[in-house]
């Protein structure tokens, strides 16, 4: 029959009946307890019994005990014990420590590049570059292929740099700057006599963000040497006059 093993009908029924027989639950709590004691460094690391669960055929039992381990609040010793048939001796299959429903767990892993916050990078620190950073594109993509550019324009567009900011990157930066402390909603801007775009110390930046942002060059301004929006402002505006003063 081509190597296919056939069973007579009565043998097939007998095999099916044997495979689906549910054994009676067995008691191996002491065995589980002893296994944990043998594994634990100290006896007081093993807490009280919590519960036991059996599989559908009552052949595999899972015992849970409190784990009194430093740094593992709410964790449990978990011992898996098997008994293949009524005459077999229960055997320890596995022993691990698992978190319970109220266990103290480590926070979800966050990639290093996503954990860095402003101010984290100090003197001598190196932040590895990511080749798949969506904020960047190869520098040659920023250069028009059908135009002759002078040196200053080529440098501004990114000539000589391996990568330049993508549209997505520029958009993220613009939103971050505009909604931040140097945008129009900042308290200092709300109290300013005039906006930055009319200030003599306002230096527009180059590129596609020129119409929206510039750099403050007023030494007495709180935003000196920082990027500010055109509608930001502060009390050190170049055209502020005595009539702009508010006397409380």
- Does 228 map to a domain? yes
Question: Does residue 3 have a pLDDT over 60?
Answer: no
Q: Are 185 and 160 in a shared domain?
A: no
Q: Are 91 and 27 in a shared domain?
A: yes
**Residue 19's pLDDT is what?**
46
Question: Does residue 48 have a pLDDT over 70?
Answer: yes
- Does 220 map to a domain? yes
Model confidence pLDDT, tens digit, residues 187-240: 999 999 999 999 999 999 988 899 999 999 999 999 999 999 999 999 999 998
Question: Does residue 14 have a pLDDT over 50?
Answer: no
Between these two residues, 83 and 244, which has the higher pLDDT value?
83
Distance CA 34, CA 42 (A): 13
- Does 158 map to a domain? yes
- Does 6 map to a domain? no
Instruction: Tell me which of 99, 123, 157 is where a domain ends.
Output: 99
Domain containing residue 217: 178-244
DSSP letter for 141, please: G
**Residue 10's pLDDT is what?**
42
Nearest to 178 by CA among 227, 223, 235, 236: 227
- What integer is the mean pLDDT of 55-69? 92
Question: Does residue 16 have a pLDDT over 90?
Answer: no
Q: Under a CB-based contact definition with an 8 Å cutoff, are residues 66 and 47 in contact? A: yes
Q: Are 29 and 85 in a shared domain?
A: yes
Model confidence pLDDT, tens digit, residues 145-190: 555 555 566 666 666 788 888 899 999 999 999 999 999 999 999 9
Distance CA 157, CA 64 (A): 64
**Residue 140's pLDDT is what?**
73
Distance CA 113, CA 96 (A): 33
- Does 138 map to a domain? yes
Distance CA 155, CA 39 (A): 67
Q: Could you give the number of structural domains in the chain?
A: 3
Q: Are 35 and 94 in a shared domain?
A: yes
- Does 199 map to a domain? yes
Q: Are 139 and 88 in a shared domain?
A: no
Distance CA 143, CA 162 (A): 12
- Does 105 map to a domain? no
Which of 48-52, 109-113, 154-158, 207-211 bottoms out in mean pLDDT, i.e. has the lowest? 154-158
Cα-based angle 17, 19, 25 (whole degrees, multiple of 5): 105
**Residue 128's pLDDT is what?**
82
- Does 12 map to a domain? no
CA torsion 171→173→176→178, rounded to 10°?
Answer: -80
Q: Are 220 and 198 in a shared domain?
A: yes
Distance CA 117, CA 131 (A): 20
Q: Under a CB-based contact definition with an 8 Å cutoff, are residues 33 and 78 in contact? A: no
The structure tokens listed for 239 are 């055209």
Nearest to 142 by CA among 205, 206, 207: 207
Between these two residues, 149 and 7, which has the higher pLDDT value?
149
SS3 annotation, 64-75:
EEEECCCCCCCE
Model confidence pLDDT, tens digit, residues 70-107: 989 999 999 999 998 888 999 999 999 999 999 988 88
């Amino acid at each position: 029959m081509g190597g296919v093993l056939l069973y007579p009908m009565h043998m097939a029924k007998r095999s099916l009946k044997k495979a689906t027989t549910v054994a009676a639950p067995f008691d191996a709590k002491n065995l589980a307890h002893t296994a944990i004691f043998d594994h634990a460094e100290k006896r007081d690391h093993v807490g009280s019994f919590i519960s036991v669960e059996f599989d559908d055929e009552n052949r595999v039992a899972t015992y849970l005990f409190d784990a009194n381990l430093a740094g593992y609040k709410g964790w449990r010793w978990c011992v898996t014990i098997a008994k293949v048939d009524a005459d077999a001796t229960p055997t320890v299959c596995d022993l691990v420590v698992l978190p319970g429903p109220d266990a103290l767990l480590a926070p979800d892993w966050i990639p290093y590049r996503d954990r860095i916050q402003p101010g984290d990078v100090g003197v001598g620190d190196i932040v590895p570059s990511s080749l798949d950073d969506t904020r960047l594109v190869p520098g040659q993509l920023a250069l028009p292929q059908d135009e002759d550019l002078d040196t200053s324009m080529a440098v501004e567009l990114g000539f000589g740099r391996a990568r330049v900011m993508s549209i997505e990157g520029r958009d993220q930066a613009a939103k971050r700057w505009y909604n931040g402390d140097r945008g129009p909603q900042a308290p200092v801007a709300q109290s300013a006599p005039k906006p930055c775009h009319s200030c003599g110390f306002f230096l527009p930046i180059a590129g596609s963000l020129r119409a929206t942002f510039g750099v403050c060059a007023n030494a007495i301004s709180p935003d000196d040497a920082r990027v500010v929006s055109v509608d930001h402002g502060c009390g050190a505006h170049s055209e502020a006059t005595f009539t702009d003063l508010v006397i409380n």
